[in-house]
């Protein structure tokens, strides 16, 4: 057991620090998922001198942020007593290098954690590595348990999901007050439901996923580009994936245009049924599209299970589904949606089927309702549908 006196902090104070960190980390749950929400603090002279959080998926982890913020205080690292972190630090390379490397490089001698990594492949590994390097490691029980702070992460590292992996899928759509995804013809050029502030958020989200998935009908109706523009990060744009069973994607659409100045456009993939029209296949590939044949579903569309597996083999871990009601419904029915973000614009009525019945059927968790511009935004994790 660590000698608390040298830290000038009681176990009770450490618990309070962990509880506060966990509460604040949780506010970023929809930004970081499927990663866990994590917070960290550096303690010096019995005081928290710096804190850090995992702010968004793909971004620096909380430990790295806290150490960076501590360095910025000007208090020398030799005077740092401990790093407090809500979850055991990672010891493997993911989107970012292992946090254990950053902790060891900082010279800090003590690490206090509030929860062990629930992933059976990594549990205890980070703490062992730090202990073997001679650091003092301490666990404060019941301070920031993962099932309270980041239950979505437990679903991500569930043994069945590890055995049969599929990307974390965020379904995003804009709807009218009555749930239609296309506005009445006289509104928003028959296309736009949500306002410019919402669109900015969508660009940020696009910059933080590995792939955008849509259905061919959306391509045919909207002629979209699925680019990333600031305030989104266009540096590593997501793959653009069209589910198009019969290769109806046009070769002269805006998807094939080069991105504009400051924009990012990921590689364009069309997933069709194996053996779909050979001439169309050649024409699309000549136009720069990568075409992949997959098995067909009972309904004669590309099979979504195969789509999910294909995405995983491409290294895709976080997907944004930006589709119309048909494909959205299939994804929801299949249980492949992990998270939703729904923008409801200030207009009623519209064209096409309404998504409204889904709000009675979806089992949502940790739901958040907020506003942006003139739109209402609903964010939630999805546990399934009844």
Ligand X SMILES: NC(=O)c1ccc[n+]([C@@H]2O[C@H](COP(=O)([O-])OP(=O)(O)OC[C@H]3O[C@@H](n4cnc5c(N)ncnc54)[C@H](OP(=O)(O)O)[C@@H]3O)[C@@H](O)[C@H]2O)c1
Residue ranges binding ligand X (CB under 6 A)? 173-174, 181-182, 191, 193, 214-218, 221-222, 243-246, 248, 297, 301-302, 304, 322-327, 330, 352
Would you say 333 or 371 has its CB closer to ligand X? Answer: 333
Q: Which residues contact 163 (CB under 8 A, 6 or more apart)?
A: none
Would you say 292 or 297 has its CB closer to ligand X? Answer: 297
**Residue 136 DSSP SS3:** strand
Using left for φ > 0, alpha for ψ between -120 and 50, and beta otherwise, residue 300 falls in: left
Q: Which residues contact 16 (CB under 8 A, 6 or more apart)?
A: none
**Minimum separation from the CB atom of position 76 to ligand X (A):** 52
Kindly name the residue from 11, 24, 55, 63 that is annotated as catalytic.
Answer: 63
Would you say 56 or 246 has its CB closer to ligand X? Answer: 246
Q: Is 63 a catalytic residue?
A: yes
Pairing between β-strand 362-372 and β-strand 318-321 as defined by DSSP bridges? unpaired
Q: Which two tokens stand for residue 24?
A: 């604040």
Would you say 129 or 245 has its CB closer to ligand X? Answer: 245
Q: What is the DSSP letter of 264?
A: B
Q: Which residues of 45-78 are buried (b: 16+ CB within 10 A; e: fewer)?
A: eeebbbbbbbebbbbbbbbbbbbebbeeeebeee
- The most distant pair of C-alpha atoms in the chain lies apart, rounded to whole Å, by 76
Would you say 105 or 274 has its CB closer to ligand X? Answer: 274
**Minimum separation from the CB atom of position 240 to ligand X (A):** 13
**Minimum separation from the CB atom of position 194 to ligand X (A):** 8
Q: Which residues contact 134 (CB under 8 A, 6 or more apart)?
A: none
Q: Name the residue with tokens 């089927």.
A: 353
d(CA 5, CA 45): 11
d(CA 134, CA 83): 15
Would you say 151 or 346 has its CB closer to ligand X? Answer: 346
**Minimum separation from the CB atom of position 199 to ligand X (A):** 11
**Minimum separation from the CB atom of position 218 to ligand X (A):** 3
**Residue 128 DSSP SS3:** helix
**Minimum separation from the CB atom of position 255 to ligand X (A):** 13
For residues 64, 65, 66, 67, the Cα torsion angle rounded to the nearest 10 degrees is: 50
Question: Which amino acids are annotated catalytic?
Answer: 63
């Amino acid at each position: 057991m660590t000698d608390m006196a040298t830290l000038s902090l009681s176990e009770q104070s450490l618990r309070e620090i962990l509880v506060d960190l966990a509460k604040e980390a949780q506010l970023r749950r929809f930004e970081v998922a499927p990663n866990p929400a994590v917070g960290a603090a550096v303690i010096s002279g019995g005081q928290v001198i710096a804190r850090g959080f995992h702010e968004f998926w793909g971004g620096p982890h909380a430990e790295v942020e806290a150490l960076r913020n501590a360095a910025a205080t000007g208090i020398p690292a030799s005077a740092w007593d401990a790093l407090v972190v809500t979850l055991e630090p990672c010891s493997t390379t993911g989107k970012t290098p292992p946090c254990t490397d950053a902790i060891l490089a900082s010279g800090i001698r003590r690490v206090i954690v509030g929860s062990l990594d629930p992933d059976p492949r990594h549990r205890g590994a980070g703490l062992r590595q730090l202990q073997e390097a001679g650091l003092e490691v301490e666990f404060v029980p019941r301070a920031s348990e993962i099932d309270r702070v980041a239950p979505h992460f437990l679903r991500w590292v569930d043994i069945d999901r590890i055995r049969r992996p599929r990307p974390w899928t965020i379904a995003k759509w804009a709807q009218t007050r009555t749930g239609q995804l296309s506005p009445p013809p006289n509104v928003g050029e028959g296309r736009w439901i949500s306002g410019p502030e919402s669109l900015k958020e969508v660009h940020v989200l696009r910059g933080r996923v590995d792939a955008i998935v849509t259905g061919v009908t959306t391509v045919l109706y909207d002629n979209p580009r699925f680019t990333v523009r600031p305030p989104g990060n266009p540096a590593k744009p997501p793959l653009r994936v069209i589910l198009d069973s019969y290769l109806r994607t046009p070769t002269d659409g805006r998807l094939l245009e080069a991105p504009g100045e400051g924009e990012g456009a990921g590689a364009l993939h069309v997933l069709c049924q194996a053996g779909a029209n050979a001439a169309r296949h050649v024409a699309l590939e000549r136009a720069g599209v990568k075409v992949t044949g997959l098995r067909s579903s009972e309904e004669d569309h590309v099979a979504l299970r195969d789509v999910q597996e294909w995405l995983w083999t491409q290294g895709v871990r976080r997907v944004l589904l930006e589709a119309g009601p048909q494909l959205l419904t299939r994804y929801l029915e299949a249980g492949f949606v992990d998270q939703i973000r729904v923008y409801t614009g200030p207009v009623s009525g519209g064209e096409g089927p309404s998504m409204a019945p889904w709000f009675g059927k979806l089992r949502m968790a940790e739901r958040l309702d907020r506003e942006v511009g003139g739109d209402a935004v609903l964010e939630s994790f999805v546990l399934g549908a009844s």
